[in-house]
């Protein structure tokens, strides 16, 4: 996914004046452009933020985040609740924000019920988000076998390229056992750094033909008890893996999957610092 410019809309005033390279404490919001200039960092990729970092709804979060990030990940984590969203939850004016979008599909899809009921929810949510023209849809792997190829057929019938659906590695479900289905179905992939580290899924990195399919990276400081830590908490092994992922998939969107305001902006600043230091090592 190509890079896009940072948003600066009337009504909010992002702090875009680079300070000296002091340690960032997370005491104020900062923009991607601020971090780029502060660290003289090269961001060849789009950086996205999740649509839940404030204790508020999607609309409030999006209005806030669009001033600092060029892309927002619209989190549809609970299928039925999100299908019931109205214009109050997803205001039509969100389409006017100066940012791009992608969607994270629900965590609670019950694949054991069969494809039809799951498809009805996916289909409805694709339509629900269509007004934002999302650039992709992240999907957790089916927990029942032989679902991806029929899903690809349903998507094509709907006029949706399966490549716009990014299959993510998660706890208990590496991409390795379903790799042939992913490739045959024409899907893309999303690699989650915390899941690779926490669940020893390094075998994913050796899948044949993987890297051209990687359109997104979920980046944060590691997972413990299902919680995502800010990026500064990523250990040495994690930093090495992050560097590998960014090198192998340089055009992939980087979603900072941290679900609180302070940790999100700390993660953004840390990413800029690391990118600058890695460049200087060359």
The CA–CA distances, whole Å, from 232 to 8, 104, 127, 205, 262 equal 26, 24, 37, 23, 12
- Domain ranges (residues) in the chain: 42-281
pTM of the complete model = 0.92
CATH class of domain segment(s) 42-281: alpha beta
Rg, C-alpha atoms of the chain: 18
Per-residue pLDDT tens digits for 208-258: 999 999 999 999 999 877 789 999 999 999 999 999 999 999 999 999 999
31: left (phi over 0), alpha (psi -120 to 50) or beta: beta
Q: pLDDT digit string (tens) for 130-168?
A: 999 999 999 999 999 999 999 999 999 999 999 999 999
Q: Which residue has the tokens 């890695």?
A: 278
Give the C-alpha separation, 200 to 100, whole Å. Answer: 32
Percent of the chain with pLDDT over 70: 91
Contacts with 129 (C-beta within 8 Å, 6 or more apart), sequence order: 74, 76, 90, 101, 103
pLDDT, one tens digit per residue, over 53-63 is 999 999 999 99
């Amino acid at each position: 996914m190509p890079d896009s410019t940072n948003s600066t809309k009337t009504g909010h005033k992002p702090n875009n004046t680079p300070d000296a390279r002091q340690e960032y404490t997370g005491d104020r919001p900062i923009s991607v452009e601020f971090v780029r200039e502060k660290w003289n960092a090269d961001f060849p990729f789009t950086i996205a933020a999740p649509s839940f970092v404030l204790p508020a709804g999607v609309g409030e979060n999006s209005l806030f985040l669009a001033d600092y990030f060029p892309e927002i990940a619209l989190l549809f984590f609970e299928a039925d609740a999100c299908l019931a969203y109205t214009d109050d939850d997803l205001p039509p004016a969100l389409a006017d924000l100066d940012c791009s979008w992608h969607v994270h599909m629900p965590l609670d899809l019950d694949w054991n019920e069969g494809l039809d009921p799951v498809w009805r929810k996916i289909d409805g949510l694709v339509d629900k988000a269509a007004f934002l023209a999302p650039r992709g849809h992240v999907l957790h792997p089916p927990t029942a076998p032989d679902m991806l190829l029929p899903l690809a057929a349903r998507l094509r019938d709907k006029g949706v390229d399966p490549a716009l659906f990014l299959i993510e590695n998660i706890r208990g479900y590496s991409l390795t056992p379903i790799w042939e289905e992913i490739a045959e179905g024409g899907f893309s992939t999303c690699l989650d750094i915390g899941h690779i580290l926490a669940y020893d899924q390094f075998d994913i990195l050796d899948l044949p033909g993987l890297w051209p399919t990687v359109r997104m990276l979920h980046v944060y400081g590691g997972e413990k008890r299902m919680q995502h830590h800010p990026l500064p908490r990523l250990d040495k092994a994690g930093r090495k893996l992050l560097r590998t992922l960014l090198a192998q998939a340089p055009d992939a969107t980087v979603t900072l999957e941290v679900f609180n305001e302070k940790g999100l902006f700390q993660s953004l600043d840390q990413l800029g610092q690391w990118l600058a230091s890695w460049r200087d090592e060359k």
